[in-house]
Structure 1
Amino acid sequence: MASDQPRMPPPGLVRAVELVRSGLSVAYRKLVPGQVAVMEMLAAGWLTQAIHAAAELGVADALADGPRSGAELATAVGADEDALHRLLRLLIGHGIFTRRRDGRYALTPMARALRRDADVSLRDAALFFGCAIHRENWSHLVDAVRTGKPVGPALHGMSFFEHARADRGLGTLFDNAMTSIGSLGLAPLLAAYDFAQFETLVDVAGGEGTMLAEILCRAPRSKGILFELPEVAESASSRLGELGLAGRCAVERGSFFDAVPQGGDAYILKHILHDWPEDDAGRILTSVRAAMKPDARLLIIELVVPENTRPHPGKYIDLEMLVNTGGRERSADEYREFLARFGFTLSRIVPTVSPDNILEAVPA
């Protein structure tokens, strides 16, 4: 499990490159007629569906052993050769797949991210974001904007998380997507923050323990507690046992709305608070605050929305939360105020080379 931690560029350098990229995008949009720029943005949804189709067909997996001709690839994935060519022609223009001079299709670094067995695979994320239910929910964005409420109760008679529990096809798709996305920012988090300084880390709603396991493998003197719902905890226990961490990592069951394990030196909430409406997110913070020692720290891993007009992943995901869960992304000032309401002081924000930040808070 404990792979060598990859070298990461300085977060400041990454932000500088992002600034240049944003500036070039702004310059391009100012050069072309406004309606042309808007039409290009409207077509972005088609690209999402094209990536979803390639993931659903398993094109990247079919090319894992090397380049293939169009006929060979179409046979391997069960597709019409001409239609597959048209799909790949679009994706190739965006750097996803390539076509060699001999006409055979091959993987690119971005295409490898759609393989099932990639070290950091986004295949499951592509399947979820392109699925019919996700598309249906987003088609009601205007309703969410009008009401300020997620669309699930009106469309399906239940909240998104209730829907995911009731429809295990959707639930599995969502769980796999979140695991997929979670692995995307794991290495940057481990490179940016010294988790080994804590004797006991409590990962609240940490899924099957992927992040906590990586932390413990890099911090051999630390112990962990994974806190999850009963239906997740069983598989998490098996996974941690397979990794040889059963003796250093306990798995406790329960709901973070009721209580969380006591006695930790650090409590981790990774991509949790943004999922929930304000009152529910506050209940989670109240549970964590009640369990913490005076000198313990709360580590919130979330995107922090910048106070500028440039594009940022948090501004997209904020609408994802509005549509599906009723949660929200927050700026640094919003987090500072929100945490203060529930007995915390935001002490610092640690940037990473990914969009994620580590917000370190202490009991007030």
Structure 2
Amino acid sequence: MATIPAGSGEHRSSTVLYDLMFGHVYASALRAVVDHGIPDLLGEGPRAVEELAERSGTRVGPLRRVLRLLSERGVFRESAGGVFGLTDVGEALRADVPGSHRAAVLWGTDEVFRRSAEGLGETLRTGRAGFEAAFGTGFFAYLAATPEKGRVFDAAMTSLAAQYGNDELIRECPFPGTGTVVDVAGGQGGLLRDVLLRHPGLDGVLFDRPGTVERHLLDVDELKGRWRVEGGDVFDGVPPGGDVYLLKNILHNWSDEDCLRILGSVRRAAAPGSRLLVIDAVLPEDGSPHPAVGMDTVMLMLFEGRERTATEFEGLLGRSGFRMSGAVPTTTLLSVVVAEAV
């Protein structure tokens, strides 16, 4: 095999390609150490690999090799004598830390993603979502039929929401001083909880699938008497009477046709003048790089959804009885698209 000179363009190209080729190896290694609780065992400080293996029920040799791989990716830190500790990245994998990424990692490395990604070749040929090709049904129908996956999904969405920075998003949302906020398909209510904590004059309604809202996060002392949950299907209708309706990370899951159905449900529930806040990634109009481009491919894998530009959001909203007034960027992946029912 020919030697590639260090630092050459050919070497750099090969490195990029090998990282892409073996990306699934890193994901599998990450899932393995999280499954075996290695980050939690390191929560109190570095430990020898022999102790980690004994306490996690794993074998010393394979564990050392996997930890070394992830150390090269900045998840762990290896010291002399086979002692491993957590980096800042690894700390986020512990189950007991605020803003833990553990649930998100378990979801992102689940077979749902792996098998959906394997179907991308068919997606390119037929347009059919990789998930549907792999599992023979739609994504949300699958979650409804497999409650254990639904629980993993809900926990991951709560974890990812924390990573997007609810505080930053809420600061950019034009909430009134008083009124009712309806969080449509709001998951376990992490965003709604933070909205109500920040705005004491507001009440809230959490609306999502019955099994999801049963696991809500709203039962905190500061919010007593200011919220209720309601289970249902967004395509059938949403709770009426809201002064503000929230749709966070919802429309990107769906085709334009389904987005119009969702927005139609919201518009039927909303009185003229009610505000709609769509919190989603907004892609640049000129095709310049954006961190949501990767998420756009995930949408291609799992659903018939997609990330959209501000112009595309404006078109959907206009066809649904809303007037869009702007899209406010934030320091997170997401923007706040502001509209009003007309």
TM-score under structure 1 length normalisation = 0.85
Unaligned runs of 5+ in 1: 1-27
Q: Which residue of 2 aligns with 1:72?
A: 51
Find the partner of 1:286 among 264, 268, 271.
264
CA contact (8 A) 1:348 1:361 kept: yes
Distance 1:30 1:314, change over 3 A: farther
Matches within 5 A, 1:190-229: 190-195=170-175, 197-229=177-209
Find the partner of 1:164 among 135, 143, 158.
143
Letter of the 1:164 counterpart = L
Q: Which residue of 2 aligns with 1:54?
A: 33
CA contact (8 A) 2:204 2:228 kept: yes
**For the residues of structure 1 that align with 2:27 and 2:80, how far apart are their CA atoms?**
27
Shift of 1:82: 1.8
**For the residues of structure 2 that align with 1:309 and 1:85, how far apart are their CA atoms?**
43
Give yes or no for the alignment of 1:300 onto 2:278.
Answer: yes
Secondary structure of residue in 2 paired with 1:60: helix
Post-superposition Cα deviations, 1:36-90, rounded to whole Å, max 9, x if no partner, equal 4322322333222222222112111111122111111111222221211111112
Shift of 1:257: 0.9
CA contact (8 A) 2:274 2:341 kept: yes
Deviates more, 1:308-317 or 1:320-329: 308-317
Give yes or no for the alignment of 1:98 onto 2:77.
Answer: yes
Q: Which residue of 2 aligns with 1:9?
A: none
Q: Which residue of 1 aligns with 2:295?
A: 317
Secondary structure of residue in 1 paired with 2:283: coil
Letter of the 2:252 counterpart = H
**For the residues of structure 2 that align with 1:47 and 1:201, how far apart are their CA atoms?**
41
Letter of the 1:247 counterpart = G
**For the residues of structure 1 that align with 2:211 and 2:19, how far apart are their CA atoms?**
43
**For the residues of structure 2 that align with 1:303 and 1:70, how far apart are their CA atoms?**
41
Give yes or no for the alignment of 1:39 onto 2:14.
Answer: no
Shift of 1:351: 1.5
**For the residues of structure 1 that align with 2:147 and 2:330, how far apart are their CA atoms?**
34
Q: Which residue of 2 aligns with 1:270?
A: 248
Q: Which residue of 2 aligns with 1:81?
A: 60
Letter of the 1:334 counterpart = E
CA contact (8 A) 1:29 1:37 kept: no
Give yes or no for the alignment of 1:241 onto 2:219.
Answer: yes
Matches within 5 A, 1:118-133: 118-133=97-112
Q: Which residue of 2 aligns with 1:19?
A: none
CA contact (8 A) 2:78 2:84 kept: yes
Letter of the 1:223 counterpart = D
The structure showing larger relative contact order (alpha-carbon pairs under 8 Å, at least 6 residues apart) is 1
Distance 1:145 1:88, change over 3 A: same
Secondary structure of residue in 1 paired with 2:308: coil
Post-superposition Cα deviations, 1:305-352, rounded to whole Å, max 9, x if no partner, equal 224555433111111111112111111221122222212222111222
CA contact (8 A) 2:132 2:302 kept: no
Secondary structure of residue in 2 paired with 1:241: coil
CA contact (8 A) 1:196 1:218 kept: no
TM-score under structure 2 length normalisation = 0.90
**For the residues of structure 1 that align with 2:235 and 2:8, how far apart are their CA atoms?**
46
Unaligned runs of 5+ in 2: 1-6
Find the partner of 1:147 among 123, 126, 131.
126
Find the partner of 2:233 among 255, 258, 265.
255
Q: Which residue of 2 aligns with 1:363?
A: 341
**For the residues of structure 2 that align with 1:171 and 1:29, how far apart are their CA atoms?**
47
**For the residues of structure 2 that align with 1:119 and 1:282, how far apart are their CA atoms?**
36
Deviates more, 1:96-105 or 1:127-136: 96-105
CA contact (8 A) 1:198 1:266 kept: no
Shift of 1:29: 10
Letter of the 1:204 counterpart = V
Distance 1:118 1:29, change over 3 A: farther
